[in-house]
């Protein structure tokens, strides 16, 4: 059920590991629209996407632009402002690699 899916997603992450955050997002995304926990889940996914951007920014601040780009690319495309922010940061960091 959706409560278990969301609990599983929350249990699988450490906020410093971008891959684990991405897996949690993927798991939580299984909760369909119309489910009673859908809105809560979408808010949680947005928080995790923001966490992913923080991870990416920390990597960039350390000069690790390749890993920063990799982390930012894990933000799903359909997350509105968070997706746009990820794309902008990726563009900035790609320029730094050239």
Cα–Cα dist 33/69, whole Å:
30
CATH 3.90.660 fits 2-97, yes or no: no
Q: Choose among 22, 34, 15: nearest CA to 79.
A: 22
Cα–Cα dist 63/14, whole Å:
22
Q: Where are the domains of the chain?
A: 2-97
Cα–Cα dist 10/44, whole Å:
9
Q: What confidence tens digit (pLDDT) does each residue in 8-53 have? A: 888 887 767 888 889 999 999 999 999 999 999 999 999 999 999 9
Give the model's confidence band at 72: pLDDT under 50 very low, under 70 low, under 90 confident, else very high: very high
Structural tokens at position 21: 């955050």
The answer, as to whether pTM is greater than 0.75, is yes
């Amino acid at each position: 059920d959706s409560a278990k899916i969301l609990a599983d997603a929350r249990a699988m992450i450490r906020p410093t590991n971008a891959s684990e955050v991405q897996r949690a997002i993927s798991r939580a995304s299984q909760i369909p629209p119309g489910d009673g926990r859908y809105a809560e889940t979408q808010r949680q996914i947005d928080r995790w996407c923001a966490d992913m951007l923080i991870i990416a920014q920390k990597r960039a601040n350390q000069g690790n632009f390749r890993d920063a780009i990799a982390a930012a690319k894990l933000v799903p495309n359909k997350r509105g402002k968070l997706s746009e922010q990820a794309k902008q940061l990726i563009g900035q960091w790609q320029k730094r690699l050239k």
